[in-house]
Chain A
Amino acid sequence: MKYWRKPLDQDKVKPVHGRIILINERCKGCGFCVKFCPRNVLEESERVNAKGYHLVDAVKEDECVACGLCEAICPDFAIKVEIENAKEPTGV
């Protein structure tokens, strides 16, 4: 991760890392998660579900900081974020 100033406790704090669980049959392709993820983890994909909605892929899952915003903003309750600790996200 790139910082504009090196945090004093950088070596002590391990950034949290998230794992994205997508419940594809609930997704309606609104795109909120893709747009509002602060780290651009998600991307609309070519895949569609049974109802024909375009699904999303967690293309940059390594970048996820488990803020939970995608889970909170998803109007269809189709995303869950699980915390995976102790894994340093790679460069921005």
Chain B
Amino acid sequence: MSGNNDYTQIDNLLREDRMPHIWCPGCGLGSVLHSFLTALNKSEVPLDKVSVVSGIGCTGRTAGYVKLDSFHTTHGRAIPFATGLKLANPELKVIVFSGDGDIGSIGGNHLIHAARRNMDLTVICVNNFIYGMTGGQVAPTTPLNARTSTSPYGCFDRPFNLPKLVTAAGATYVARWTAMHVRRLEKAIVEALLKPGFSFVEVIAPCPTQYGRKNRQSTGLAQMDYYKENSIIKHGADTKDVDIDLNGQIVIGKFVDIECPTFYDLQTEILGKTFPHMSKTQAEEASA
């Protein structure tokens, strides 16, 4: 949209030649990608220092749709690839954009350890409660009683509460929004991008094809409507109270925003004692 101050266009960041994308009608991933690209423009981080890392899954296709340095990695390994990028070149702004199955299940251990180390990454985890691409199997985030292709009588595994998981592991910024809250999501992503340390934004998004259809929300629109009617904004809510029940209320907002030394800070400080050339000021000089 041209000429409006509080809005930035995203044409510079979207690979329009790859449109239309593969996502289903009513899938929320496109909306989340739009919010992310707008946020990236608004945050004014230098684009040649940005890289986007995705794993496997519907959300993982994102890396192929952005006109930025991007990495489509193996299943669950988006965070380790991103960690490697960040360690090799601390100047980079590394963003992990992937789904709940990729980040929370196959890559679950990587997630908690990156949070524990406070790696300076921005993780955008799109949670649609299901493994969409592979046929709608039950995911670690599927709410109790939800029906999926592998839980036809209702899911009886207790789901992960991702904000609680990463908060416990040490993340410095934790927020949750839905694909419907485009503007607030944009704002949260800008904050997460500018936050030093491990920042985690969970985005609840519709997957009508695999999840909604089996759980009485047969279209993406019905799911978006449900988010609109059932989301409660509670900034600073204790993450132990933000569990999601099937068709229940969804607590959204910014839950955690704290200051902590990052992996790089501690590395340069502690190793700098023994290897003076690694102390931070010199590292900064070298990169300047």
Residues of A within 8 A of B (CB): 16, 18, 25-26, 28-32, 35-36, 53, 66, 68-69, 71-77, 80-83
C-alpha gap A36/B220 in the complex (Å): 13
Q: Which residues of B are found within 8 Å of A73, using beta-carbon distances?
A: 31, 34, 180, 182
Give the residues in chain B near A53, CB-CB below 8 Å. Answer: 25
Asked if B1 contacts A66 (CB within 8 A), the reply is: yes
The answer to whether A83 touches B2 (Cβ under 8 A) is yes
Determine if A72 and B26 form an interchain contact, defined as CB atoms under 8 angstroms apart: no
User: How far does the alpha carbon of A32 sit from the alpha carbon of B34 in the complex, in Å?
Assistant: 14
Contact B4 A75 (CB under 8 A): no
B136 part of interface (Cβ distance < 8 Å): no
Distance from B134 Cβ to chain A, minimum over Cβ atoms (Å): 21
Cβ–Cβ contact B1 & A30, under 8 A:
no
A75-B34, A76-B19 known, 12 other contacts, Cβ within 8 Å: A16-B4, A28-B25, A30-B25, A35-B225, A68-B4, A73-B34, A75-B31, A77-B34, A82-B1, A82-B3, A83-B2, A83-B3
**Chain B, interface SS category:** loop
B46 at interface, CB cutoff 8 A: no
Among A26, A73, A81, the most chain B Cβ lie within 10 Å of the Cβ of: A73
Q: What is the distance, in angstroms, from B219's C-beta to the closest C-beta of chain A?
A: 8
Is B38's beta carbon under 8 Å from chain A?
yes
- Residues from chain A with a CB closer than 8 A to the CB of B20 are 25-26, 28, 76
Considering the complex of A and B, which 9 residue pairs feature the smallest CB-CB distances, nearest first? Answer: A75-B30, A28-B25, A30-B26, A72-B182, A75-B31, A83-B3, A81-B1, A31-B221, A26-B20
Within 8 A of A (CB), among B15-29: 16, 19-21, 23-29
| Minimum CB distance partner of A53 in chain B | B25
Q: Which residue of A lies closest to B14 (CB)?
A: A77
- Which of A26, A32, A81 counts the most chain B CB atoms within 10 A? A32
Q: For residue B186, which residues in chain A have a CB less than 8 angstroms away from its CB?
A: 72
Note all chain A residues with C-beta closer than 8 A to B16: 77
B183 at the interface (CB under 8 A from A): yes
Known A35-B221, A77-B14; contact A71-B1, beta-carbon cutoff 8 A:
yes
Docked-complex contact B1 and A76, CB < 8 angstroms:
no
Q: Which residues of B contact A83 (CB under 8 A)?
A: 1-4
A16 cross-chain contacts in B, Cβ below 8 A? 4
Q: Which residue of B lies closest to A82 (CB)?
A: B2
A76 and B30 contact, Cβ closer than 8 Å, known pairs A30-B221, A31-B221: yes
Q: CB distance A80 to B220 under 8 Å?
A: no
Contact B31 A74 (CB under 8 A): yes
A32 touches B31 (CB 8 A): yes
A80 to B16 CA separation, bound complex (whole angstroms): 13
Q: Please give, as numbers and ranges, the residues of chain A lying within 8 Å of B7 by CB-CB distance.
A: 68
Pairwise interchain contact B224-A35, C-beta atoms closer than 8 A: yes
B35 at interface, CB cutoff 8 A: yes
With both beta carbons as reference points, the residue of chain B lying nearest to A85 in the complex is identified as B3
CB distance from B23 to the nearest CB of A (A): 7
Chain A nearest CB: distance from B10 CB in Å?
8
